[in-house]
C-alpha cells in the first residue's frame, strides 16, 4: 500500500471512530468536545479517562490545549499513561470505579452544550425504542431527570405500568400516566439522603429503564512533593600520559506515596556543582511514572586539570488524597 493510500485509510478510520462515538451517543464524546464538564474535578477527569476511547481522549486533549485547567489529561503524554494514573489513583484510594460506572458518572456531569447535544443524540439522532432516562440537573437534594419513551410509531400513547421503584428517592411531582411517543418528560425527585446513591426504575408499555445517581462524588486532591534521592559524585581520571577518561555516576528514585507517580521531565540534580562546569553535566536517562534515573558525567579537557562534580537527584511526585 502506498503512503498516500495508507494515509487515506487512516483518515477514513479516524472519521469512522468519531462518527461511531456520536452514533452511540457516548457521554465521553460530548464531554471531550465541550470541556466545561471535564474541568469539574479530578474525580471526573479520572472517570472520563477510564470511560473514554482513544479517539475521545485525543479529542479532549485537543479541546484542552492552551487552557490552564487541563489537569491530568493535558499533562499526560499518552492515553495509556493517563489510564495508568487513573487506575493507580482510584486503586490507592479504594474507589472501585470501572469503565461502566465511570461512563455513568460522566453522563451525570454533562452541562450546557454537552448535555444538549447528548440529549439530542439519544432522543432525535439515534433514539432507541423503549424508555430512556438521564439527569438534566441536580440542585442539592432535588434531582431533575429527563425521560423519553419511543413506541412503535410517533402517534402512539404509552401508559405508566406497575409500581415505580424508588430507593432513596421521593416524588416531588408525580410522573405522567400517559406518555406520548417521542416526547420528553421531566421527572422531579428528592433524594432523601443527598450524599447517598439513589435509584429509580420506571416502566411504560412493557419497556422499562433504571437510573442511579451517585450522590456526592469523592473529592480527589492531587498533591505534589519533591523526592530527594542520593548524592551523585563523579570525577575524571587519568589513564596514562595524555589519555584521560570521563567519570560517571547514576542513581534512581521511585514513587513513595500510595497511588503516587513521578512527574515526567522533572528529574534533575539539585545542589549541583563541578570544578570545571563546561566539562560536566547530568542527563535524565530513565523517565517514567515509576522510575527516574539521572546520570552525572564529568570529564576534563586537559589531563593535568582534574575535574569532579556532585549533586543530589531530585524529582517531583504527585499523589492522591481524599478531602
Give the tens place of pLDDT for each residue, 126-174.
Answer: 999 999 999 999 999 999 999 999 998 888 999 999 889 999 999 998 8
Instruction: With respect to residue 117, please indicate whether it lies within any of the assigned structural domains.
Output: no
DSSP of 13-70:
HHHHHHHHHHHTT-HHHHHHHSTTTTTS-HHHHHHHHHH--HHHHHHHHHHHTT-TT-
Q: Is the pLDDT of residue 242 over 70?
A: no
Residues 2 and 95 placed together within one structural domain of the fold: yes
Which of 34-38, 82-86, 251-255, 275-279 is the least confident region? 275-279
Instruction: With respect to residue 115, please indicate whether it lies within any of the assigned structural domains.
Output: no
Quick: pLDDT tens for 38-54: 888 999 999 999 999 99
**pLDDT score, position 13:** 45
Residue 210: CATH number of its domain: 2.60.40
Q: Is the pLDDT of residue 7 over 60?
A: no
Residues 133 and 233 placed together within one structural domain of the fold: no
Q: What is the pTM of this model?
A: 0.83
Q: Is the pLDDT of residue 83 over 80?
A: yes
Q: Which residue has cell 512527574?
A: 263
Residues 195 and 224 placed together within one structural domain of the fold: no
**pLDDT score, position 158:** 94
Quick: pLDDT tens for 279-317: 888 999 999 999 999 999 988 766 767 888 999 999 999
Instruction: With respect to residue 70, please indicate whether it lies within any of the assigned structural domains.
Output: yes
Residues 80 and 161 placed together within one structural domain of the fold: no
CB contact at 8 A, 245 and 67: no
Query: Could you give the dihedral angle defined by the CA atoms of residues 137, 64, 222 and 286, in that order, rounded to the nearest 10 degrees?
Result: 150
Residues 303 and 269 placed together within one structural domain of the fold: yes
Query: Average pLDDT, stretch 243-262?
Result: 91
Tell whether the torsion through CA atoms of 40, 43, 48 and 49 is positive or negative.
positive
Residues 60 and 82 placed together within one structural domain of the fold: yes
Residue 262 class from Cβ within 10 Å (0-12 exposed, 13-18 middle, 19+ buried)?
A: buried
Residues 287 and 310 placed together within one structural domain of the fold: yes
Q: Is the pLDDT of residue 3 over 50?
A: no
Domain boundary among 184, 218, 252: 218
Report residue 20's pLDDT band, with 50, 70 and 90 as the boundaries.
very low
Residues 193 and 258 placed together within one structural domain of the fold: no
Residues 98 and 1 placed together within one structural domain of the fold: yes
Q: Is the pLDDT of residue 17 over 70?
A: no
Residues 206 and 254 placed together within one structural domain of the fold: no
Say how far apart CA 289 and CA 286 lie, in whole Å.
10
| Half-sphere exposure for 218 (CA within 13 Å, toward CB) | 19
CB contact at 8 A, 309 and 234: yes
Sheet holding 198-204, edge to edge: 178-180, 157-167, 198-204, 207-213
Residues 281 and 307 placed together within one structural domain of the fold: yes
**Residue 62: partners with Cβ closer than 8 Å, 6 or more residues away:** none
**For a pLDDT cut of 90, what percent of the chain falls above it?**
73
Report residue 21's pLDDT band, with 50, 70 and 90 as the boundaries.
very low
Domain boundary among 76, 109, 142: 109
* 3-state SS assignment for residue 112: helix
Q: Residue 315 belongs to what domain range?
A: 220-322
Indicate the number of domains in the chain.
3
Residues 205 and 226 placed together within one structural domain of the fold: no
Amino acid at each position: 500500500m502506498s503512503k498516500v493510500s495508507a494515509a487515506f485509510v487512516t483518515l477514513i478510520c479516524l472519521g469512522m471512530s468519531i462518527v461511531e462515538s456520536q452514533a452511540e451517543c457516548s457521554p465521553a464524546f460530548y464531554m471531550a468536545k465541550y470541556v466545561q464538564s471535564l474541568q469539574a474535578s479530578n474525580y471526573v477527569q479520572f472517570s472520563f479517562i477510564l470511560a473514554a476511547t482513544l479517539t475521545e481522549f485525543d479529542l479532549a486533549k485537543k479541546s484542552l490545549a492552551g487552557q490552564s485547567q487541563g489537569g491530568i489529561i493535558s499533562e499526560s503524554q499518552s492515553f495509556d499513561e493517563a489510564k495508568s494514573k487513573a487506575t493507580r489513583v482510584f486503586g490507592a484510594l479504594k474507589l472501585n470505579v470501572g469503565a461502566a460506572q465511570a461512563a455513568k458518572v460522566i453522563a451525570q456531569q454533562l452541562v450546557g452544550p454537552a448535555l444538549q447535544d447528548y440529549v439530542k443524540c439519544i432522543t432525535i439522532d439515534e433514539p432507541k425504542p423503549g424508555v430512556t432516562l438521564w439527569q438534566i440537573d441536580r440542585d442539592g437534594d432535588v434531582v431533575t431527570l429527563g425521560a423519553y419513551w419511543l413506541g412503535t410509531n410517533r402517534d402512539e400513547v404509552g401508559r405508566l405500568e406497575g409500581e415505580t421503584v424508588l430507593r432513596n428517592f421521593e416524588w416531588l411531582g408525580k410522573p405522567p400516566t400517559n406518555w406520548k411517543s417521542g416526547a420528553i418528560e421531566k421527572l422531579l425527585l428528592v433524594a432523601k439522603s443527598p450524599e447517598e446513591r439513589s435509584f429509580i426504575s420506571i416502566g411504560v408499555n412493557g419497556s422499562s429503564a433504571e437510573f442511579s445517581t451517585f450522590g456526592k462524588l469523592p473529592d480527589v486532591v492531587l498533591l505534589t512533593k519533591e523526592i530527594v534521592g542520593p548524592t551523585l559524585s563523579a570525577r575524571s581520571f587519568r589513564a596514562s600520559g595524555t589519555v584521560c577518561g570521563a567519570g560517571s555516576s547514576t542513581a534512581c528514585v521511585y514513587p513513595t506515596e500510595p497511588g503516587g507517580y513521578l512527574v515526567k521531565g522533572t528529574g534533575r540534580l539539585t545542589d549541583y556543582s563541578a570544578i570545571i562546569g563546561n566539562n560536566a553535566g547530568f542527563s535524565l536517562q530513565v523517565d517514567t511514572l515509576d522510575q527516574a534515573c539521572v546520570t552525572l558525567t564529568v570529564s576534563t579537557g586537559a589531563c593535568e586539570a582534574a575535574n569532579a562534580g556532585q549533586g543530589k537527584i531530585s524529582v517531583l511526585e504527585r499523589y492522591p488524597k481524599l478531602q
